[in-house]
A and B are shown apart, each in its own frame.
Chain A
Amino acid sequence: MIATVEHTGNVTPMAISTTPDPFIGDEALRAVFFEWLCRLGDTTLVLGHRVSEWCGHAPVLEEDIAFANTALDLIGHTQMWLGLAGEVEGEGRSADNLAYLRDAAKFRNLLIAELPKGDIGITVMRQFLFDVWHFALLKQLTESKSPRVAEIAAKAVKEAAYHFERSADLVIRLGDGTDESHRRMQEALDYLWPYTGEMFITDEVDRQVAEAGIAPAPDTLKAEWDRTLASVLSEATLKAPDGGYAHTGGKTGRHTEHLGFILAELQFLQRAYPGAEW
């Protein structure tokens, strides 16, 4: 995984939690719980990969490191979410199996995560739109009735809080910056806007997971997201487009053409040399 860039080729596996969880082994919920975990874990995996693409390419060294840190945080969350997904599924698949050996149609990430990184405007704006949602979601997940979900969220929410602070700050600085930075940020917002609706769509899987008390229904996160967005965008002198059209499909495995290219790079090694290890 990308995490290996950070360490000196020596990856410490994430400690596997042994906290008992009544939802692991719950037959009635197994399929939807697994599906829900893949949606979250795949979103952080794919976005983490996208952000990592700046590594060595960011306009200044300091931002390069900041992007790499964000990417690593997201990949770290992925290890925990997909690790738990594998346990819930109960067929012996690890986080690595799920990340490296599934095809695009099995991925459940939000479409906004897989869009190409574009310029810094797109990258920062996407990160901001995602961070507001991610932070709101994780805060609620710390109260999950699933002890394992709550445990992971408690760890991840601290990182998400910093991601949000950083991206909101950059949106304000760049939005209310020079003519060029303002133009790029507004263009990024216009382009990404139709991909934000998918974060709040609540389908049958979400409803069942919400009824079990594992996670909030996505539509309940919208009010906080709207409020935070309005305040940051107004400070950034940016204007959210009108219209609520939403591209959908990521959560059910119908992706843009971009995901295939990500997986080709991400999965190449394990596909070409199955079982290869450090």
Chain B
Amino acid sequence: MSKEWPLYEVFIRGQHGLNHRHVGSLHAPDAEMAIRHARDVYTRRKEGVSIWVVKSNDITASSPSEKGPLFDPAESKAYRHPTFFDIPDEVGHM
């Protein structure tokens, strides 16, 4: 067993109805303690109504070196943005 506690990523929902947002990371011996630590580290100023934590190791991330093949092909495809529709006035704010 490593002497260092594993790293957890912390997600906090600021208000009901909003999404959980990534706010940072911290070390904890297990998920339950990670929640406590997150409460103490990230919600001291009443930032949240809900906390998620997940082990950083459990997140599979895209590799920065594949940035080109992954994202560049979308560059010249403006038609994928729904900007070519006329929105009727009755719809109001979208």
List the interface of chain A (C-beta within 8 A of B). Answer: 60-63, 65-66, 69, 166, 169, 173
Q: Is the contact region of chain A dominated by helix, strand, or loop, or is it mixed?
A: helix
Q: How far is B46's CA from A151's CA once the two chains are assembled, in angstroms?
A: 21
B23 beta carbon closer than 8 Å to chain A: no
Task: Determine if B40 and A69 form an interchain contact, defined as CB atoms under 8 angstroms apart.
Answer: yes
Q: CB within 8 Å of A: which of B18-77? A: 26-29, 32-33, 36-37, 40-41, 44
Interface centre among A60, A62, A66 (most CB of B within 10 A): A62
Task: Determine if B44 and A66 form an interchain contact, defined as CB atoms under 8 angstroms apart.
Answer: no
Task: Determine if B5 and A60 form an interchain contact, defined as CB atoms under 8 angstroms apart.
Answer: yes
6 contacts across the A-B interface (CB closer than 8 A): A61-B27, A62-B26, A62-B40, A65-B40, A169-B33, A173-B29
A231 to chain B, nearest CB (A): 18
Known A60-B5, A62-B26, A62-B27; further 16 A-B contacts with Cβ < 8 A: A60-B27, A61-B26, A61-B27, A62-B37, A62-B40, A65-B37, A65-B40, A66-B36, A66-B37, A69-B40, A166-B36, A169-B32, A169-B33, A169-B36, A173-B29, A173-B33
Contacts of B41 on A, CB cut-off 8 Å?
Answer: 62, 65
Contacts of A60 on B, CB cut-off 8 Å?
Answer: 5, 27
List the interface of chain B (C-beta within 8 A of A). Answer: 5, 26-29, 32-33, 36-37, 40-41, 44
Closest partner residue, chain A, to B5 (CB atom): A60
Closest partner residue, chain B, to A165 (CB atom): B36
Q: How far is B42's CA from A62's CA once the two chains are assembled, in angstroms?
A: 10
Closest partner residue, chain B, to A60 (CB atom): B27
Q: How far is B44's CA from A60's CA once the two chains are assembled, in angstroms?
A: 18
A68 to chain B, nearest CB (A): 9
Closest partner residue, chain B, to A68 (CB atom): B40
A158 to chain B, nearest CB (A): 13
Closest partner residue, chain A, to B28 (CB atom): A62
Contacts of A62 on B, CB cut-off 8 Å?
Answer: 26-28, 37, 40-41
Closest partner residue, chain A, to B29 (CB atom): A173
Q: How far is B2's CA from A179's CA once the two chains are assembled, in angstroms?
A: 17
